[in-house]
Amino acid sequence: MHPKGILLVVMLCTSGSLSLAQKQQLNHAAAREGNVQSSRSEHSEILRGLDQAMDEVAERVLPAVVQISVSGFGPRERSGNENIMERQRGVGSGVIVDPNGYVITNAHVVMGAQRIQVIMRSVNTELVPGKTSLLHKQRTFEAQLVGTHRLTDLALLKIEANDLPSIPLKQEYRARLGQTVLAVGSPAGLDHTVTKGIISALGRQTDLDHPMIYVQTDAPINPGNSGGALVDRDGALVGINTFIYSQGGGSEGLGFAIPEPTVRFVYEELKKYGRVRQTVIGASAQTVTPTLAAGLKLPQDWGVVVSDVVPGGPADKAGLKPRDIVIAIDNREIDSLPKFAASLFLHAHDQAVQMNVLRGAETLKLYIPAIEAQGGVESLADLVDPRKGLIQPLGIFVLDLNKSLFDMLANLRSSSGVVVAGKVDYTAPIDADLAIGDVICSLNGIRLTSTSHFRSELDRFKPGDPVVLEVERQGRIQFVSFDME
């Protein structure tokens, strides 16, 4: 009881017989004190229930969030003119999304890695006296890179294991502004770290020149969290944590996650095809501004307007016209250019795009056949396996020129060789004049048939030997020469 309540009772009891008013005063004081105690108990139960609910979510998702360890080669800090390559390591996070060993992480976590390991730990989430709950059982798996997609910054790994704990990718996706979320990952290599926050924004576009949209959260996310899970109070995946805005390098409450629908789409594409097919309709769009609306006399001064329709393309044949305002795609409301791009990106490839447009005062529903975009040189890096494709002396990653690549790179004259798909981010021992998309056809007159053939032929040369590569670049044949280092 509150001290004032005790004093009141003592005063009334020592003053002899109580009057009716005094008895009522005493009863009211006791009732108030009882209500306070009851309120405290109710609040305690609410907090205990909230803690228990968060505990249960954490226990459910923790086993499915893994640590990703990557290793490769990079230059040591230079001293004089030496150029010494050393093994370098990095750590990120990943999420098991299929109990048969499929793990989603960020593309930037595994980019350039020659060895990828997935580390799983079983951990007790409750400290019990007398038990060694801090000694974690660790399992390490060698991982195969199934594929990457740089646009969404996602990568799919495969480990040889079954019946694993997982966070499934569900068709039902619900994310609401302000709802509680947990971020799980391995910041600074500290596995099974859980932080709590809310969804700060949905559909956030962080770069006007980049069509990706993100879930924004204030749950603390730090380097090493990349590829980890952002989950809701039911343990369902909200997104894959990918980056933060920070001036000091640590969490400042501005974290971003790739939304689950995007993760699910990329996962299914990479698992089935090893790459992500892109849907195009033969039309371009841009954001409607008040000035644009006034100048073109559009019926509204916000949203998305069709700016170009390719003659003879799918959109043209379906009746889409410039100045049409896009209202919805596949029954998803379109109010911004990122939503327009995202809706086309997530569209099923075997179905027509249903597009609702506003043309003047008339609303139209169009069905536009979806076609797959032809990949260009910018898509080559998504196909690289760093363990197989690195030509270390030249500092390049290459791919075998097969039928799929031949079809992707239009108008090729060469039918065999290797394609330059990427470059390392350090100074290579040999500075050869090679560009992304080049087809290396021969080496000192020897026709190349594969990456392994190219590597074995290059290994035969001694320092100082002359090397001449026959290269097709943008439809023209030229020679690239250098002395072997």
DSSP string, 244-274: E--SSSS--S-EEEEEHHHHHHHHHHHHHHS
Same domain, 144 and 154: yes
Q: Which of 227, 261, 295 is the last residue of a domain?
A: 261
Q: Which of 205, 233, 261 is the last residue of a domain?
A: 261
d(CA 485, CA 482): 9
Confirm whether 269 is domain-assigned.
Answer: no
pLDDT(264) > 90: yes
- Range in 35-49, 122-136, 239-253, 457-471 the model is least confident about: 122-136
- DSSP-derived secondary structure letter, 300: -
Residues 218-235: what's their mean pLDDT? 90
Same domain, 116 and 229: yes
Same domain, 214 and 112: yes
Same domain, 67 and 195: yes
Same domain, 113 and 217: yes
Residues 6+ apart with CB under 8 A from 212: 151, 152, 205, 206, 258, 262, 338, 342
Same domain, 292 and 437: no
Domain that holds residue 43: 3-60
Same domain, 56 and 66: no
Same domain, 149 and 255: yes
Query: Is 330 tagged catalytic?
Result: no
Query: Is 153 tagged catalytic?
Result: yes
Confirm whether 271 is domain-assigned.
Answer: no
Active-site position among 108, 149, 192, 347: 108
Same domain, 192 and 71: yes
Same domain, 111 and 233: yes
d(CA 57, CA 304): 40
Express as a percent the part of the chain with pLDDT over 90: 49
Query: Is 28 tagged catalytic?
Result: no
d(CA 175, CA 256): 14
Q: What is the CATH number of the domain that holds 97?
A: 2.40.10.120
Confirm whether 268 is domain-assigned.
Answer: no
Identify which has the larger pLDDT, 408 or 303: 303
Say what the pTM is: 0.74
Active-site position among 166, 186, 200, 226: 226
Residue 24 confidence (pLDDT): 67
Residue 224 confidence (pLDDT): 83
Residue 260 pLDDT level (bands cut at 50, 70, 90)? very high
Q: What is the CATH number of the domain that holds 340?
A: 2.30.42.10
Residues 102-111: what's their mean pLDDT? 93
Please give the tally of structural domains in the chain: 4
Confirm whether 22 is domain-assigned.
Answer: yes
Q: Which of 355, 372, 389 is the last residue of a domain?
A: 372
pLDDT(54) > 90: no
Same domain, 408 and 328: no
Q: What is the mean pLDDT of the chain?
A: 84
Confirm whether 294 is domain-assigned.
Answer: yes
Confirm whether 298 is domain-assigned.
Answer: yes
Confirm whether 274 is domain-assigned.
Answer: no
Active-site position among 98, 153, 232, 324: 153
Contact 403, 89 (CB under 8 A): no
Same domain, 464 and 337: no
Residues 186-206: what's their mean pLDDT? 86
